[in-house]
Amino acid sequence: DGDRTFGAFFDTPARVAFDMDSAGDGTITVSCEAPGLCLYLIDGTDAYNVVKQFLGIIGPSFLPPLWAFGYGQSRWGYKSDKEIRRVADKHRALGIPLDYLCMDIDYMDRYIDFTVNGHRFPAMTQYVEDMKTKGLHLVPIVDAGIKIEPGNPVYDEGIQKGYFCTNREGENFQAEVWPGMTHFPDFLRAEVREWFGEQYKFYTDLGLDGFWNDMNEPAIFSTEYRAKTAKPDAERGDPVQPERHIADFKDFFHRLEDGTRVSNYEVHNIYGGLMTRASGEGLDRLLDRRYLLFSRSSYIGAHRYGGIWTGDNASTWHMLRQNVYHMPSLNMCGFLFSGADTGGFGGNAGRELLLRWLAVSVFTPLMRNHSALGTRRQECYRYQNPEDFKAVISLRYRLLPYLYSEFMKAALRQDMFILPMAFGFLGDETARRIEDQLLVGESIMIAPVLEKGALGRKVYLPEPMTEVRWDGEEFRCTGADAGTREITVPLNEVVFYIRKDCLVPVAKTTAASTAELDLSDVELLGTGTAYRQYLDDGYTKDCSLERCTVLQKEP
C-alpha cells in the first residue's frame, strides 16, 4: 500500500531472476532456480535507514592504505618493466600525479599466477623497491585459474591435497583461460582459501602490497567437454556468449565441508567473492599493514576483504553515466572502495570523454585509468594539452584530506561514502528523482557533465550551497541559492558543491604522490564552523574513530 518502507535481500549463490513489473500491473516477481534462498526483510523509517541497518548486518568495510586513494595508471599490454617505468617517468616529468601502476597478465611467466617473467621483469624485488622510492606502487593482476603444469609448486600442491574443483566424473575439472588449460581452486572450502591466500607470499616477498583479482566469475574460454566456439570479444578476448557458459558451470563441481558435491551453477554467485576472501585473509596474515585489493567478481560480504571495480566497460558516454549510477548502488552493498575503469576499458577514449570521466573519478575511492590491448593508448600525456589532465587529477590530491577522512569515517561507522541525493534530502521529491548528482561524504555534492559536446549542465540545489570551481591553480568559491541553475564547465575545470553549514578540508598544495602529501596541513572551504577530520599514517591496521580531531574555521 506504499505505507511500509522496507528492504529485501535475496541471498542465494545460485541464479536468480527479477521481473520488475513487466506486465505493467505493479507486480515484482523474484525467482530462483535452486533451493536454499534466504530472504531478509528489513523494516525502516526511510530507505537510507534500511540501508544503514543492512550495512550494520553485513559487517565493516575493507580499509585500503592511503596510497590506494591516489591516481592509478593501468593498461593490458604493458610488456616490460622498462615500458612501465617510461609511463611513470612521463607522469613525473609533466607533473601529473601518480601513485600506482597496474601490471596486467604480461608480467607473468606464460600467464601463470604467482610467477614473474624473468626476461621482461628481471630483478623484480629491486624494481619494486626502486619504484617505491619514487612514491610509486606496483599492483599485479591475479587470475582464478591455476595452470595445469606439473613441476609448478602451486599446481603440484593443489593436486596432492585435492584443492581443485572436479568434473562430472570426479576428476579435476579442466578449462582454458589465459595460460591454457587450468584447474579452479575450490574456494568454498576453508582449507583451500587458506592455502590460496598463502600463495600471495610470492608477491609480498617481492615487496608488493597491492593486488587486483580478475577472471574470477570464473571466466572460461573452453572446457574439456566443450571447444571454444565464440569469437574473442574485441574488448578483451573473453567469449561473448554468456548463455553458452551455463553448461560450463554445470560441468564442474565443488565439495562442501560435509563432502556434498554441488555444481558451480548452483553456487556461481559466490565464487569471486570467496576468492577475494581467500586473498584478503591471506594478505592480512602476511602483512603488518593495510594493502590494496580489488576484484572483478564479488558478492555481499566480500566487501570486508577487498574492493571492487565495475568490470570490463567501454569508452562510451553511456558507460560514463553508468559509472555514476553504479557508485551509490555499490555503497549500499558495502563496497565503499569501488570505481570504474576511467576512460573505458574497451574502445578508444577521446580527449573530451577522458577528461569528463576523470572529473567523476576524482570523487570515487578507486581512481584508475585502464584500457585494453588493441585500443588507443589512454595515458593522459598522450592527448593534446596534457596540462588539462594534470589540472583535473591534481584536484584529487588537493581533496584527499577530505576524501580519505570521509571514507574512513563511513567505513568505521558502517555507513555509505557515496550516496544518492534522496538519502541526503529526505522528503525532497525533486532530489529523489535525480540520479546523475551524488553526495560524496557529509559535505560535497557533485553534478558531473555526462553528455558528449555539452558545455555544462543543469544542476538542482535542494538548499543553498557553496559552488566551488577548480581550474588547476585555485579554488573559486561563490554562494549559490537553492533551486535549479544552468552552469558552464570547461573541460579543464571541475565544479562541485559544498552543502550548507559544512566544511571541506583541502591540502594547501598538490603533490606528485600521496607520499609527498601532508593531510594535516589544510585550509577549510565552505560555510561551516567545524569539521571532524580522521587522520592516521595511511598504513596502520589500528583504525578507530578516536583518531578524529576537530578542525575549527577561523572567523
- Residues belonging to the active site: 214, 217, 312
Q: Is the dihedral of CA 184, 190, 193, 195 positive or negative?
A: negative
Contact 22, 12 (CB under 8 A): no
Contact 319, 294 (CB under 8 A): no
On the 0-12 / 13-18 / 19+ scale of CB atoms within 10 A, 23 is: exposed
Contact 219, 184 (CB under 8 A): no
SS3 317: helix
On the 0-12 / 13-18 / 19+ scale of CB atoms within 10 A, 227 is: exposed
Residue 94's Cβ-side half-sphere holds a number of Cα atoms within 13 Å equal to: 23
C-alpha cell at 480: 549559490
Query: What is the rounded CA–CA span in Å between residue 209 and residue 293?
Result: 9
Cα 350-353-356 angle, rounded to 5 deg: 145
C-alpha cell at 434: 535525480
Q: How far apart are the first and last CA of the chain?
A: 51
Contact 113, 149 (CB under 8 A): no
Query: What is the rounded CA–CA span in Å between residue 199 and residue 179?
Result: 18
Radius of gyration of the chain (CA): 24
